[in-house]
């Protein structure tokens, strides 16, 4: 069993213990976090739903990210992932959310946002709202896989 699967299993146990449900809001990971979670038998006890919002319009329509936020800061920004995490909670019955938006490559880099730039946000109905920026190395697959791991680690820490 690999580390990402182990993280997801432990997260599930924590969420069940706390009687919490999770929602994901994913962009560059394309649903990979939700896939890892739903690979676990019984994950419907703690995984409520997932949003894959790859385009800006999807972020706006499904999560309520403001057009102004996207125009001013871009999809790969702290402001956007914070709105994604909050919007995922607003559009679900979950108590905890994670949002991920980044540049997995090989293209898409902009000045100040190289390939491997990934923003994360975690939110809870109890008022937790935090973000984190990471710059990963490697190809598209490596960046996305690393982003899934960091998202799960952050969720594990957010449950405590």
* pLDDT at residue 5 in the model: 96
DSSP letters for 85-120: HHHHHHTSS-SEEEEEEE--SSS--BTTB-TTEEEE
Q: Which of 50, 96, 107, 102 lies closest to 80, judged by CA?
A: 102
Q: Using one digit for the tens of pLDDT, what is the confidence trace for 27-47?
A: 999 999 999 999 999 999 999
**CATH number (domain holding residue 110):** 3.90.950.20
* pLDDT at residue 1 in the model: 60
Q: What's the start-to-end Cα distance of the chain, in Å?
A: 24
Half-sphere exposure of 22 (CA within 13 A, CB side): 31
Q: Determine the structural domain holding residue 59 and report its residue range.
A: 3-159
* pLDDT at residue 35 in the model: 98
The count of other CB atoms within 10 Å of the CB of residue 9 is: 16
* pLDDT at residue 8 in the model: 98
Q: Using one digit for the tens of pLDDT, what is the confidence trace for 12-30?
A: 999 999 999 999 999 999 9
- Average the pLDDT over 98-126 and give the result: 96
Q: Using one digit for the tens of pLDDT, what is the confidence trace for 48-99?
A: 999 999 999 999 999 999 999 999 999 999 999 999 999 999 999 999 999 9
Hey, which bits of the chain come out as E strands?
22-26, 47-52, 96-102, 117-124, 129-135
What is the rounded distance in angstroms from the CA atom of residue 157 to the CA atom of residue 144?
Answer: 20
Mean residue pLDDT of the chain comes to 97
What is the rounded distance in angstroms from the CA atom of residue 50 to the CA atom of residue 159?
Answer: 18
* pLDDT at residue 122 in the model: 98
Domain count, the chain: 1
């Amino acid at each position: 069993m690999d580390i990402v699967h182990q993280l997801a299993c432990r997260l599930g146990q924590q969420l069940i213990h706390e009687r919490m449900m999770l929602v994901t809001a994913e962009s560059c990971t394309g649903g990979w976090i939700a896939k890892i979670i739903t690979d676990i038998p019984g994950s419907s006890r703690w995984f409520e739903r997932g949003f894959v919002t790859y385009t800006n319009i999807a972020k706006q329509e499904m999560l309520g990210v403001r057009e102004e936020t996207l125009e001013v800061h871009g999809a790969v920004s702290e402001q956007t992932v914070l709105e994604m995490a909050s919007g995922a909670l607003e559009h679900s019955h979950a108590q905890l959310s994670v949002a991920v938006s980044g540049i997995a490559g090989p293209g898409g880099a902009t000045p100040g946002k190289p390939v491997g730039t990934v923003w994360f946000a975690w939110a809870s109905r109890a008022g937790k709202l935090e973000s984190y920026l990471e710059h990963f190395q490697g190809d598209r697959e490596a960046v996305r896989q690393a982003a899934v791991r960091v998202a799960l680690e952050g969720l594990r820490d957010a449950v405590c």
